[in-house]
């Protein structure tokens, strides 16, 4: 039994991407998201995630690159848990109740390449980025992440922060994008940090 190799017939790595793909195929017309007046079916959710993943590739997201997001429980955050791994990246969902110093620490430590920010937390994100730029302990090689605003999906506020808005990325992405396939369950797809810690946040890779 020790000589039994992995192959398509006996092994498939379990990932959320596979769950979403199957749900879109089997239950495509059933609801997957209900958020106030916003409703998406499984097929719509799958297509939106493919589009977003394709757009993320334009940020040069490669395998194991971190994409951070500062947002409450909204459809965009849900979609990013699929779209980021589809692009080969690692999603880092940041607790919205953290202070600017801890947010800055997480962005710096994770080396996030892209930072998605919900419109309600622009001030917090701006303060965190400012701390990153002014901290004396930061290496001169620090590269700030690209910033993407997540506006209200139902009633856009017109807020401006960063070069892109979330729905713009969804619209411009290719629905025929072929997602990155996780080859091994040891490959990371999520990076979480502790909250309420007595020192700096500690990370846990999933």
**pLDDT one-digit tens code per residue, 89-131:** 999 999 999 999 999 999 999 999 999 999 999 999 999 999 9
162: CB partners within 8 A, 6+ apart: 115, 117, 146, 147, 148, 149
Q: What is the pTM of this model?
A: 0.93
Instruction: Please state the φ and ψ torsions of residue 59, each to the nearest 5 degrees.
Output: -90, 10
H/E element holding 59?
none
Residue 97 has what pLDDT? 97
- Is the pLDDT reported for residue 4 higher than 90? no
Question: What does the pLDDT read at residue 141?
Answer: 73
Higher pLDDT, 51 or 1: 51
Q: Is the pLDDT of residue 39 over 70?
A: yes
User: Look-up: residue for tokens 């398509």?
Assistant: 8
Burial readout 175-195 (b: 16 or more C-beta within 10 A, e: otherwise): eebebbebeeeebebbbbbee
Residues 6+ apart with CB under 8 A from 145: 68, 107, 112, 113, 114, 115
On whether the CB atoms of residues 146 and 163 are closer than 8 A, the answer is yes
DSSP 145: P
H-assigned helices in 15-121: 16-26, 42-57, 75-86, 100-110
Domains of the chain listed by start with CATH number: 16-205 (3.40.50.12780)
Distance CA 38, CA 46 (A): 15
Total number of residues shown for the chain: 206
What confidence score (pLDDT) does residue 5 get? Answer: 83
Residue 12 pLDDT > 90, yes or no? no
| Segment among 14-18, 51-55, 132-136, 184-188 with least mean pLDDT | 132-136
Question: What pLDDT shows up at residue 139?
Answer: 58
According to the model, what pLDDT value does residue 45 have?
99
């Amino acid at each position: 039994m020790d000589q039994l190799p992995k192959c398509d017939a006996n092994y498939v790595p379990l990932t959320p991407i596979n769950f979403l793909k199957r749900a879109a195929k089997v239950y495509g017309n059933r609801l997957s998201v209900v958020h106030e007046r916003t409703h998406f079916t499984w097929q719509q959710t799958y297509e939106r995630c493919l589009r977003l993943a394709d757009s993320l590739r334009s940020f040069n997201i490669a395998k194991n690159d971190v994409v951070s997001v500062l947002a409450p429980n909204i459809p965009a955050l849900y979609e990013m848990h699929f779209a980021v791994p589809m692009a080969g990246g690692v999603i880092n969902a940041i607790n919205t109740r953290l202070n600017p110093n801890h947010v800055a620490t997480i962005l710096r430590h994770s080396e996030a390449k892209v930072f998605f920010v919900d419109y309600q937390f622009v001030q917090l994100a701006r303060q965190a980025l400012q701390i990153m730029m002014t901290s004396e302990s930061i290496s001169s090689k620090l590269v700030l992440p690209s910033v993407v605003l997540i506006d209200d999906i139902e009633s856009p506020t017109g807020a401006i922060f960063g070069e892109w808005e979330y729905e713009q990325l969804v619209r411009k992405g290719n629905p025929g994008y072929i997602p990155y396939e996780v080859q091994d369950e040891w490959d990371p797809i999520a990076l979480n940090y502790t909250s309420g810690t007595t020192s700096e946040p500690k990370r846990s890779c999933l």
